[in-house]
Amino acid sequence: MNKSENIIRVKRVAERLGISVAAVWNKTNPKHRSYCPDFPKPFKVSTNITGWLESEITAYIEMLAATRTGAQS
């Protein structure tokens, strides 16, 4: 992990992806129909705070864009 790595919270993840906060949590829940095994895994920052590495969210968005581009070719 880069020393200057940013940790972002669920609201910011949702904003970056253009989805709701609930949809973010659904993507992380293996029991939910919207579960996505490729979605970056959250981690506990403290007892009541969960975060994601910003670089992993960016990489996920880039992966989705690459899939889209590949499908159109």
- pLDDT tens per residue, range 17-72: 999 999 999 999 999 999 999 999 999 999 999 999 999 999 999 999 998 766 55
Q: Is residue 21 part of a domain?
A: yes
Per-residue confidence band for 73, with pLDDT thresholds at 50, 70 and 90 = very low
pLDDT value of residue 11: 98
30: containing domain: 7-72
Look at residues 1, 61, 72 and name the one whose alpha carbon lies nearest to residue 27: 61
Rg of the chain on CA atoms, in Å: 13
- Residue ranges of alpha helices (H) inside 1-73 are 10-17, 21-28, 54-72
Number of domains in the chain: 1
Model pTM score: 0.85
Would residue 1 count as lying in a domain? no
10 Å CB burial of residue 23 (0-12, 13-18, 19+) is middle
| Inter-residue contact 8 to 57 (CB < 8 Å) | yes
